[in-house]
Amino acid sequence: MSSLTEARVSEIRAFNRFYTKVIGVLQAGMLDSPYSLTEVRVLFELAHSAPMETGELRALLGLDAGYLSRILTRLDGDGLVARERSTSDARKQLVRLTPAGMETFRSLDERSAEEIERLLAALPDEGQERLVTSMATIRRLLGAEGRREAVVIRPPRAGDLGWVAFRHGELYAREYGWGTEFEQLVARIVGDLDFSRDAGWIAEVDGERAGCVFCVHQDETTAKLRMLLVEPSARGHGIGRRLVEECVRHAKAEGYKRMTLWTRDSLVSARRIYQAAGFELESEEKGTENGVEVTEQVWSRDLQATS
C-alpha cells in the first residue's frame, strides 16, 4: 500500500469512527429505543413499501438470511411486524408492519429528524450547506454502480460565477501546477461577461455544480467559447460534449459565422471534445504558466458548416 493510499484509508476510517459516534451506532439502542441500527433500518424499509418478500428485503439491506430471520423474529415477538406466506408462491414469505410497528417507526422517525435538526442548528447556514453538499457527494461517489445520475444544463445564477473562477483556479493548480495568475485571468474573463450579449451554462449532476462553459461575443461575426470545465467526478459521462454542443448551438442561433477558443495542449480531453465538435487547430505557440512550460493553442470552426 502506497503512503498516499494509506493516508486516505486512515482518513476514511477516522471519519467512520467519528460518524458512528455522531449517529449513536455504538449505543445499545438507536434513538433511545431498544432497537439496533439494523432493526430500525428494517422498520424504515417496511414503512416505505407494500408487504415485502423477505428475500427482497435481505437483498436491499445486504443482510445474511439467518441474521434477517432473527431480526424479524424479534420484531414479530414485539408485535411490530407480521409474516405470511405469499399467495402466488408458498415458498416465499411476505413481511409487513403492523399498526403498532408503524406507530413505533413514526416515533423513531420523528426523533431522528429532531436529532438532525439539533445537529444542523449548531452550524451557521454556510456550514449546513457544506455539510449537506459533502454528504450528497459521498452518496453519489459510493452509490449503486450503474445508477443514472440526473444531469441538468442550465443558465448561470447567483453564486455560479464565483464558483467558476474558484474551481478553475483550484483544479488547474492541482492538476497542472498553474498558479494564482491563471485564476486571476479566469476571474477577469468572468468579470468582463456581459449577459446582454454573452451566454453561459452550468452543468449540474444530482443538483451539484459539475461543469461550465461560456459563449462570449468577440465581434459581430465571431464568438468565443470560453472557460469549459468539468469536475473530475463528472468526467467521462459526456458532460463536456453537451456543454460544447450547447455553446455552439447558441452561437449559430445568434447568427455568428465563426467560433474560436483558446486552450493548451495539455488539456487532452478538452481538445478531443473540440475536435469532435468540428474545431480545428489554427495556431499555437510556447508559453509559461507559474513556471510551467505550456503550449498555447487557438482553435476555430465555421458555424455555417454542417456540424
**Residue 140: which pLDDT band, with cuts at 50, 70 and 90?**
confident
- DSSP 8-state symbol, 50: S
Q: For residue 137, what is its C-alpha cell?
A: 457527494
Span 27-37, average pLDDT? 76
Q: Name the architecture of domain 3-122.
A: Orthogonal Bundle (1.10)
**Does the pLDDT value for residue 224 go beyond 50?**
yes
- For residues 141 and 273, the model is more confident at 273
Same topology, domains 3-122 and 151-302? Answer is no
The domain locations on the chain are: 3-122, 151-302
**Does the pLDDT value for residue 118 go beyond 80?**
yes
Cβ proximity of 105 and 97 under 8 Å = yes
How far is it, in rounded angstroms, from Cα 93 to Cα 82? 10
Q: For residue 98, what is its C-alpha cell?
A: 403492523
The single residue listed with the C-alpha cell 480531453 is: 269
Write out the H or E segment, with its range, that includes residue 16: helix 3-22
The single residue listed with the C-alpha cell 470560453 is: 226
The pairing of beta strand 222-230 with beta strand 258-264:
parallel
Residues 6+ apart with CB under 8 A from 70: none
- DSSP 8-state symbol, 1: -
According to CATH, the topology of domain 151-302 is: Aminopeptidase (3.40.630)
The per-residue pLDDT for range 159-187, each reduced to its tens digit, is: 999 999 999 999 999 899 999 999 999 99
Helix axis angle, 54-61 relative to 37-47, nearest 10°?
Answer: 120
How far is it, in rounded angstroms, from Cα 104 to Cα 121? 26
Q: For residue 303, what is its C-alpha cell?
A: 458555424
The per-residue pLDDT for range 242-277, each reduced to its tens digit, is: 999 999 999 999 999 999 999 999 999 999 999 999
How far is it, in rounded angstroms, from Cα 4 to Cα 275? 36
Residue 18, burial from CB neighbour count under 10 angstroms (0-12, 13-18, 19+): exposed
Closest CA relative to residue 16, chosen from 146, 142, 153: 142
**Does the pLDDT value for residue 306 go beyond 60?**
no
Closest CA relative to residue 80, chosen from 105, 63, 55: 105
pTM (predicted TM-score): 0.57
Point out which residues pair with 301 in neighbouring strands: 259
Cβ proximity of 81 and 101 under 8 Å = yes
